[in-house]
């Protein structure tokens, strides 16, 4: 497997240890071989063996987990990478956590580099906050701690009733920029939407580069979607009065003199780029890249504005549907993602996709949590907005 191992020069000290004396176990909850690659890299760095377990789907698609060794009184770390079949991966994690809980494990820590359903963390019209539901399910299954990376919204940590360590991939991606992008000093960091400006600003300040922000009708922020605050609709059919009739007003008695102002609909301006990208290398940064249509459209606009190379930097490379083909046919020169999500098939379809290994920081987080050491070292120079 071709994998660029860009690890910031941090002094993580590991020593080979006997698995029987380490006091903890590391398991993989995935039933597919491709998803266990990250778990193998982490255990190699820790100097331990991957725990013995069997995770599989029965003929009727029920998930079954068999733990093949004793876990009584030990710290157990479950590494779960999320493939395209998200719901199966969630069930595998839940069933394994519950199996370990009933086997008297001391602590059960989930290592979930990409946390699923993180986009569904806000109330939508007649919808639900699914991310909160998943957090409750994980707690009920027996998890006592979670290690994750670059949550879609940092406020998601408040959904959990136990500690959550939200690690950052930016040091690895910044090092990739410095070492693998020729003439990166002539680059400019680009926020694809105004909502991504804080993340882009963090990269720009650390690399001492300029910042550009894209804004316009081609991009739709999640905050612009209906969130239920206009339900039921404001407009109602009234007869003979100008008052507002409420659903609880069973006899339809008007409330005279009550008139609510009507919120005007948003009208986005034509797409614009705030910042000069002419003659520069444009580096778009985001937390994940899934459907790539917005990124392809942004790359075309940046090319029109004079950028001569386009890079995409993202932590989670979901790359769903026709993403590899669209990237290959687009003006994007390179897409750089970490190995929090397996994407080897997509890399075979599109050589523009590059991978950065983040197993080092995940392994160090596991070691520190088991030894009761401070996690502050992993968050050095990380600000609240990063």
pLDDT tens, N- to C-terminus, the chain (386 residues):
456 556 555 545 454 443 445 689 999 998 788 789 999 999 999 999 999 999 999 999 999 999 999 999 999 999 999 988 999 999 999 999 999 999 999 999 999 999 999 988 888 778 889 999 999 999 999 999 999 999 998 889 999 999 999 999 999 999 999 999 999 999 999 999 998 999 999 999 999 999 999 987 654 444 444 444 444 444 444 444 444 455 555 555 556 667 778 878 877 777 889 999 999 999 999 999 998 999 999 999 999 999 999 999 999 999 988 999 999 999 999 999 999 999 999 999 999 999 999 999 999 999 999 999 999 999 988 877 67
- Verify that 204 and 306 share a domain, yes or no: yes
Q: Is residue 243 part of a domain?
A: no
- Verify that 182 and 33 share a domain, yes or no: no
Domain count across the chain: 2
Which are the contacts of 29, defined by CB distance < 8 A and separation ≥ 6?
55, 65, 78, 79, 80, 89, 92, 93, 96
Q: Is 381 left (phi over 0), alpha (psi -120 to 50) or beta?
A: left
- Verify that 157 and 30 share a domain, yes or no: yes
Q: Is residue 363 part of a domain?
A: no
- Verify that 158 and 295 share a domain, yes or no: no
Q: Is residue 5 part of a domain?
A: no
| Euclidean distance between CA atoms 342 and 17, whole angstroms | 28
- Verify that 141 and 177 share a domain, yes or no: no
- Verify that 52 and 180 share a domain, yes or no: no
- Verify that 157 and 301 share a domain, yes or no: no
- Verify that 116 and 210 share a domain, yes or no: no
Q: Is residue 155 part of a domain?
A: yes
- Verify that 309 and 351 share a domain, yes or no: yes
| Euclidean distance between CA atoms 350 and 346, whole angstroms | 6
- Verify that 180 and 119 share a domain, yes or no: no
- How far is CA 221 from each of CA 28, 208, 216, 224, rounded to the nearest angstrom? 35, 27, 10, 5
- How far is CA 249 from each of CA 228, 236, 244, rounded to the nearest angstrom? 21, 13, 10
Q: Is residue 163 part of a domain?
A: yes
Q: Is residue 234 part of a domain?
A: no
Domain extent at residue 279: 171-218+270-356
Q: Give the strand order in the sheet containing 164-167.
A: 24-28, 75-79, 107-112, 145-149, 164-167
CATH number of the domain that 193 lies in?
3.40.50.2020
Q: Is residue 249 part of a domain?
A: no
- Verify that 192 and 66 share a domain, yes or no: no
- Verify that 126 and 187 share a domain, yes or no: no
């Amino acid at each position: 497997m071709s994998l660029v191992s860009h690890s910031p020069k941090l002094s993580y000290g590991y020593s080979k240890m006997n698995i029987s004396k380490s006091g903890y176990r590391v398991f993989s909850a995935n039933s597919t071989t491709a998803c266990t690659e990250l778990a193998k890299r982490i255990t190699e760095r820790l100097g331990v063996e991957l725990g013995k377990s069997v995770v599989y789907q029965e003929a009727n698609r029920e998930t079954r987990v068999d733990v093949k060794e004793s876990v009584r009184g030990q710290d157990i770390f479950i590494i779960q990478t999320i493939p395209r079949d998200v719901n199966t991966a969630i069930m595998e994690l839940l069933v394994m956590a519950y199996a370990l809980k009933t086997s008297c494990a001391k602590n059960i820590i989930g290592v979930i580099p990409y946390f699923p359903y993180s986009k569904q963390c806000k109330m939508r019209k007649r919808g639900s906050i699914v991310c909160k539901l998943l957090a409750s399910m994980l707690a009920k299954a027996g998890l006592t701690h979670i290690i994750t990376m670059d949550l879609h919204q940092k406020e998601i940590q408040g959904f959990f009733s136990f500690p959550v360590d939200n690690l950052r991939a930016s040091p690895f991606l910044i090092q990739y920029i410095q070492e693998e992008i020729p003439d990166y000093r002539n680059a400019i960091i680009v926020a694809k939407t105004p909502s991504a400006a804080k993340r882009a600003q963090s990269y720009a300040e650390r690399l001492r580069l300029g910042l550009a922000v894209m804004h316009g009708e081609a991009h739709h922020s999640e905050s612009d979607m209906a969130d239920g605050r206009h339900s039921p609709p404001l407009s109602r059919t009234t007869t003979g009065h100008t008052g507002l009739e409420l659903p609880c007003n069973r006899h339809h008695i008007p409330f005279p003199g009550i008139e609510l102002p009507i919120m005007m609909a948003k009208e986005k301006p034509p797409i614009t780029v705030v910042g000069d990208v002419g003659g520069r290398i444009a580096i778009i940064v985001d937390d994940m890249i899934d459907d790539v249509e917005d990124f392809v459209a942004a790359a075309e606009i940046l090319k029109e504005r004079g950028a001569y190379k386009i890079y995409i930097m993202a932590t989670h490379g979901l790359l769903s549907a026709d993403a590899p083909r669209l990237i290959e046919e687009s003006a994007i020169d390179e897409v750089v993602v970490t190995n929090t999500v397996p994407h080897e098939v997509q890399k075979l379809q599109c050589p523009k996709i590059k991978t950065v290994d983040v197993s080092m920081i995940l392994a160090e987080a596991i070691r520190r949590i088991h030894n009761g050491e401070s996690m502050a070292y992993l968050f050095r120079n990380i600000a609240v907005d990063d």
